[in-house]
Structure 1
Amino acid sequence: MQSEKTERIKYLVETLNRASKAYYAEDREIMSNREYDALYDELVSLEAQTGMVMANSPTVNVGYEAVEELPKERHETPMLSLDKTKSREDLRDWLEGHRAVLSWKLDGLTIVLTYREGKLEKAVTRGNGEIGEVITNNARTFVNLPLSIPFKGELVLRGEAVIRYSDFEKINEQIEETEAKYKNPRNLCSGSVRQLNNEITARRQVRFYAFSLVSGGEEAKEITTVEEQFRFLEDQGFETVEHYPVTEENILDTLDTFERKIENYDVPSDGLVLTYDDIAYGRSLGRTAKFPRNSIAFKWADELRETVLKEIEWSASRTGLINPVAIFAPVELEGTTVSRASVHNISIVRSLRLALGDRITVYKANMIIPQIAENLTAEELSAGAEGRTEEVRIQGSRCLVEIPKVCPVCGGPTEIRQVNDVQSLYCTNGKCPAKQVKSFTLFVSRDAMNIDGLSEATLEKFIDLGFIHEFADLFHLDRHREQIVEMEGFGEKSYRNLMDSIDRARNTTLPRVIYGLGIANIGAANAKMLCRYFDYDLEKMQKADVETLSAIDGVGEVIATAFVNYMQDTDNLRRIEALCGELVIEIPKIEEGSQTLSGLSFVITGSLNSFASRSELKDLIEQKGGKVTGSVTGKTTCLINNDVASASSKNKKARDLGIPVLSEEDFIRKYEIQAQE
């Protein structure tokens, strides 16, 4: 019965959140207010019955808070690593006739949670196994983590915080610049969990999967098997890692089951964990200096293929980083044909001692990413060179892959930079086309200058032909009319359409310009916020220091530093000046005393009478310095709802928090708002 209620709670949370997103973020309804309220009331009732409240439940409000630093704390029980094997037979033999549980080894960040009296009290990262960082405030934003549980004693458990591949891809889809995209879910999760501002963590869709019960008072002492531990944790509302009971008879078949799943499994994993099911037996085995003896990790045995290195391709990026890519004779790996593998950096190129024609072995890391495992030629020569003939020693010092002294794109000089122990190659030419094309792509995008007809491929052609070197050049493409008209895919009509689009773009706004410059961490919303703060005065913005910018609500030191660094660069200032000479920038008229809603926060719900839509009222509030959010919190000034007496969830929350609920008419009267004509 408890498990049925748990599943119902999770279903209601997901359904209500999906309905809220559709209504408030997408301006569409997928259920009526009556249906929503009925489901909401059912959720409230189930949470009261079970004592279980999920972190993403619409009945709770997780307050966002920034901290100066993450405090450190020593674990009561050290968190050891696991011994490992890649042999399926060794894994079976390890059982020695005992029953065990086989589960995913998730690839995220291990977290220790402590609950007291049914409430989440503390969350600490694994850290170095002895000392971790306290991230309780961030854990409260994990998508599927219970904030309240039925168990009222002290409960300590471990699990893995992860970001699913599907969520990782959605996050990256919102980032236009390729080089700014996150590299993998594991690194993004680690950074997200350890943020100083948990509002950032909340946006990253971090999930928690429990895998071990550390302690739970007398009730936990009665649990004798790992399978019972998993059931107990599931009854408390935790999602657990996928797991199966195994014996020597079925473990190899179960391994096959996991192996079939891994290619399409949405949760990042880097192997499996095998744990003796009998808890007392596992504890009786003790531990070594490094590993507990009750568990062992299984890593997939890499499928190796031998091939021949044909070429090293050097790929330049927008940041100037030049990545080495190995091109080799095609081989079949994990069911697909591969012929390329990133070598990542200069340090790896040198450690592998690569030369064209070398025999190498390649594999797919985690069965996904092609990598070079070994350089067989270099190892054989090294092993046989000592005491051999002069001819062999010459072969041993054969012509290794050369590190290019010039950029493969622009021909400009390169340099090797070392960060910690890693050496990487960079192009030093600030005008390198590889750096420019992504910048121009952002500049002409819809939220920036909104110039139609300039795809990334077209921009590359214009850069290669020398038509554009900086943003201002886009407004002088008419100088190259004859060449553009003759280009493939163009013609007189396409050229004219492009010129018309460029002419329209000359009349723009300062937020569009600021966003279009491509300053690190300055998105369209931040650009609008900064422009409003500085009264749309570009000169004031350029002279602002980090301290001033950091004090602005929603900015912070990282964004402030990036903005100041950009505006202090003399070349950037010259380019901005040249660009502004081509534009007519509309400056909104901000009458003295017009920012009457500055510092106030509002929530709008329901239909409106005096405004065409909630978006129209939102725009007007923002013009007057106010802020509109999607949910009622302790910081909300008032909730705007024409159905003041409604029993909706927003009205309930507002009343609980003592926040006034105003009709549209009362709001207009109180704040002297006038509907736009």
Structure 2
Amino acid sequence: MSANQNSNEHDRMRELIGKIHDADVAYYQQDRPIMTDREYDQLVDELQALEAETGLILSNSPTQHVGGEILDELVPVRHTKPMLSAGKTKQVEDLVKFAAGRAVLLSWKMDGLTIVLRYENGGLQQAITRGRDGIIGEDVTHTVRTFLNVPLTIPIREPFEVRGEGVISWDNFEKVNLSLGGDYTHPRNLAAGSVRKLDSGESRKRKLEFWAFDLVSDTLEHQSKLAQQELLQNSGFSVVPYIFLPESHTEQEVRDAVGAFQPKHFAYPVDGVIMEYDDVAYGRSLGATGHHENRLIALKWQDELYETRFTGAELATTRTGMVSITGLFEPVNMDGAMVSRAYLHNVDIFDSFQFGLGDTIKVYRANMIIPQIAENETRSNTFFLPLQCPCCGHRLSIRQTTGGTRQLYCENPHCAAKLVQKFAHFCEKTRMNIEGLSAVTLEKFIGHGWVKNFGDLYQLDQFRDEIISTDGFGEKSYERIHDAIEKSRSCTLAKFIAGLGIPMVGRHAGRELDRFFHGSWDEFEAALQKHFDFTVLPDFGQTMNDNIYAWYADKEEGKLWRPLLAQVHFKKENTDMESIKKTPFWGKTVVATGKLMGYTRDGIQEKLLMLGARPASSVTKKTDYLIVGEKAGSKLTKAQQLGIQTLTEEEFENMIAE
């Protein structure tokens, strides 16, 4: 090999180390990935190949250190034993060789933030992140105590450590990420940032979990890895799911066991599987390199690339105003599923591909789950992102985020996408009861521009094909939503008004308005136009009166609700007035408080209405009865002070029966 060639290879190694280091800082310290997992792995693979070829390993090579950075805000803690990584492969054949003639355990390689829990005298003493090189981590006890499943006390008194992964399930990631404005691209990034929050109250909202994979102890260590896992399970820990293969296993059984790990059927993010020797002493005797332990090996799945053609980009506005970008391509069969879109995290990543319509691109499913664009072979750079909000048409801006990336934003304060909670409120069970239209679903529909006002909910059939092809939907889910929408077209004035989101005008007020205006919207609107004084109604004060008129005069609000009037019709309650007049509650004002055994809060309201009573939410001198359940509070005290008759749930039922 010539000196010049050597120099070129050494320069390339230094270049690779620099790129990997930059990626580590962005990923671990700033929680803003600058490249995909596939791109990162390609850089590491190339560096390892050059190191093997040249025999040169630089001191700052990431192949000799586990990635990560210590954040200044958290207290550094030294680990009792170095936390090394596992050797990696992409060939199942390497696992077959590794397992030959020995009992092994296969488990998920969960994709989150590695954490060590220290226990002493039966209680959790400290939680520490892996840290820079597995030697010094960060104390995150305050946030780990808020995890969903970490045992704070256990029956074991001896000191020991549990190593595991802090993760967020895919379902919780979607919900939490939406509540945070959709800023995170993967559960791993959200988990890493959440664990290191200084405010444990903020961390508690993130629905983090801890899944154990290793036991470290001078007194509790069993000679069998399987026994260790069983001890952890029996002590209350969630243990990473595993498959045990005895030493008598065959090569085919190893391959079958590996094949049993299907990421798309697992509730948590994973990036491979881990194989480890069951014989703890034997595994320890194999020693370690500066980077990984020889007792275990990780299989990272091969990313199979598929060729297709780029067809455009789709924008969707979120409730924060941030606009997501999805790359579109000709449908391609990936593992039996037809895929035609992949999420592009920000403007920088979109621009890096230099797309043009019809460009030949390579796509894959990251971790065998998430569709991703790997590369653009044509790079014609003739396709430009539209800069109009798909929801309101307002011109989009490009903002530089605190993490240094560029994102599209809609600056229009009246954009319907920012009103997701209003739409979700309208669709709730106790309002219009449109099952299937959750806040998460509505954000997708609104962001795509399919829903701009409440009336549009009743015309979603024109977007049937688009909805069915959207991630997470299909014909059955569309039909369920469609049926619920059609059923809600016939509604009472009470539920309709409760769904409009008028401040302080909820279900109880809606029932009063329904009763007073005979279930007629026309009568209600005519009263508004004649400046009706709503304070004459029970429990309506001046503030509620003013809120109704302010809402009615708001032109932007009117754009949301007025199209509804052409889509719904109002029905009146079918009630036998003669039978109602015979009940002891006819015309009486009744309040219910505390937990009732036979009724929900809405259920008791409906029951009272059926009896001809006037349900109320607060106790006043005009209250006739107070129905008292468990843990009744201030309403009971006030009723006693006013001398109002109180009824137990049993007494209430007896009066009905009589």
Measured at CA, do residues 342 and 664 of structure 1 come closer, stay the same or move farther in structure 2, by a change above 3 Å?
Answer: closer
CA contact (8 A) 1:119 1:147 kept: yes
1:106 to 110, 116, 121: 110
Measured at CA, do residues 575 and 117 of structure 1 come closer, stay the same or move farther in structure 2, by a change above 3 Å?
Answer: same
**2:310 matches 1:309:** yes
Cross-structure match for 1:124: 128
Question: Counterpart amino acid of 1:367?
Answer: M
Measured at CA, do residues 577 and 292 of structure 1 come closer, stay the same or move farther in structure 2, by a change above 3 Å?
Answer: farther
Q: For 1:368 and 1:110, locate their aligned partners in 2 and report how far apart those are by CA, in whole Å.
A: 22
1:157 to 145, 159, 162: 162
Secondary structure of the equivalent of 1:76?
coil
TM-fit CA distance, 1:323: 2.9
Secondary structure of the equivalent of 2:85?
coil
CA contact (8 A) 1:334 1:364 kept: no
Q: Please give the TM-score of this superposition, normalised by the length of structure 1.
A: 0.52
- The farther-off stretch of 120-129 and 250-259 is 250-259
Q: For 1:581 and 1:147, locate their aligned partners in 2 and report how far apart those are by CA, in whole Å.
A: 49
Measured at CA, do residues 304 and 286 of structure 1 come closer, stay the same or move farther in structure 2, by a change above 3 Å?
Answer: same
Cross-structure match for 1:525: none
Measured at CA, do residues 500 and 145 of structure 1 come closer, stay the same or move farther in structure 2, by a change above 3 Å?
Answer: closer
TM-fit CA distance, 1:465: 11
Which stretches in structure 2 are left out of the alignment for 5+ residues?
Answer: 1-72, 457-482, 508-540, 544-549, 559-592, 607-614, 620-627, 648-658
Measured at CA, do residues 252 and 191 of structure 1 come closer, stay the same or move farther in structure 2, by a change above 3 Å?
Answer: farther
CA contact (8 A) 1:104 1:273 kept: yes
CA contact (8 A) 1:176 1:442 kept: no
Cross-structure match for 1:58: none
> 1:26-65 maps to which residues of 2 (within 5 A)?
none
Q: For 2:125 and 2:112, locate their aligned partners in 1 and report how far apart those are by CA, in whole Å.
A: 22
Cross-structure match for 1:426: 409
> 1:264-413 maps to which residues of 2 (within 5 A)?
264-378=265-379, 398-413=380-395
Secondary structure of the equivalent of 2:302?
coil
Q: For 2:395 and 2:344, locate their aligned partners in 1 and report how far apart those are by CA, in whole Å.
A: 21
Cross-structure match for 1:555: none
Question: Counterpart amino acid of 1:215?
Answer: S
Cross-structure match for 1:211: 213
**2:240 matches 1:241:** yes
Q: For 1:203 and 1:434, locate their aligned partners in 2 and report how far apart those are by CA, in whole Å.
A: 23
Measured at CA, do residues 671 and 211 of structure 1 come closer, stay the same or move farther in structure 2, by a change above 3 Å?
Answer: farther
Cross-structure match for 1:228: 227
Question: Counterpart amino acid of 2:364?
Answer: Y
CA contact (8 A) 2:185 2:345 kept: no
**2:151 matches 1:146:** yes
2:82 to 78, 85, 96: 78
Secondary structure of the equivalent of 2:294?
coil
Secondary structure of the equivalent of 1:283?
helix
Cross-structure match for 1:386: none
Question: Counterpart amino acid of 1:417?
Answer: R
TM-fit CA distance, 1:346: 1.7
Q: For 2:101 and 2:434, locate their aligned partners in 1 and report how far apart those are by CA, in whole Å.
A: 69
TM-fit CA distance, 1:327: 2.0
- The farther-off stretch of 159-168 and 366-375 is 159-168
Q: For 2:454 and 2:557, locate their aligned partners in 1 and report how far apart those are by CA, in whole Å.
A: 25
1:439-498 deviation per Cα after TM superposition (whole angstroms, max 9, x unaligned): 6524645599x57999978996775999xxxxxxxxxxxxxxxxxxxxxx9xxxx99979
Measured at CA, do residues 292 and 495 of structure 1 come closer, stay the same or move farther in structure 2, by a change above 3 Å?
Answer: closer
Q: For 1:198 and 1:421, locate their aligned partners in 2 and report how far apart those are by CA, in whole Å.
A: 26
Question: Counterpart amino acid of 2:216?
Answer: V
Secondary structure of the equivalent of 2:229?
helix
CA contact (8 A) 1:93 1:248 kept: no
Measured at CA, do residues 465 and 124 of structure 1 come closer, stay the same or move farther in structure 2, by a change above 3 Å?
Answer: closer
1:120-176 deviation per Cα after TM superposition (whole angstroms, max 9, x unaligned): 22222334444444343544454444333333221112122334446667x56xx99
Q: For 1:279 and 1:537, locate their aligned partners in 2 and report how far apart those are by CA, in whole Å.
A: 75
TM-fit CA distance, 1:210: 1.7
Q: For 2:108 and 2:251, locate their aligned partners in 1 and report how far apart those are by CA, in whole Å.
A: 14
CA contact (8 A) 1:282 1:294 kept: yes
Question: Counterpart amino acid of 1:404?
Answer: P
Question: Counterpart amino acid of 2:106?
Answer: L
TM-fit CA distance, 1:272: 0.8
Which stretches in structure 1 are left out of the alignment for 5+ residues?
Answer: 1-68, 379-397, 467-488, 514-535, 539-573, 583-602, 625-639, 643-661
Q: Please give the TM-score of this superposition, normalised by the length of structure 2.
A: 0.54
TM-fit CA distance, 1:576: 11
TM-fit CA distance, 1:306: 1.3
Q: For 1:500 and 1:335, locate their aligned partners in 2 and report how far apart those are by CA, in whole Å.
A: 48
TM-fit CA distance, 1:195: 5.4
Measured at CA, do residues 321 and 504 of structure 1 come closer, stay the same or move farther in structure 2, by a change above 3 Å?
Answer: closer
Measured at CA, do residues 358 and 119 of structure 1 come closer, stay the same or move farther in structure 2, by a change above 3 Å?
Answer: same
Aligned alpha-carbon RMSD (Å): 5.4
Measured at CA, do residues 319 and 96 of structure 1 come closer, stay the same or move farther in structure 2, by a change above 3 Å?
Answer: same
Question: Counterpart amino acid of 1:277?
Answer: D
**2:141 matches 1:136:** yes
CA contact (8 A) 1:95 1:248 kept: no
Secondary structure of the equivalent of 1:241?
coil
CA contact (8 A) 2:274 2:296 kept: yes
TM-fit CA distance, 1:304: 1.9
Q: For 1:74 and 1:274, locate their aligned partners in 2 and report how far apart those are by CA, in whole Å.
A: 27
TM-fit CA distance, 1:367: 1.4
Q: For 1:287 and 1:623, locate their aligned partners in 2 and report how far apart those are by CA, in whole Å.
A: 70
Figure out how many residues of one structure are paired with residues of the other and give that number: 444
CA contact (8 A) 1:110 1:160 kept: yes
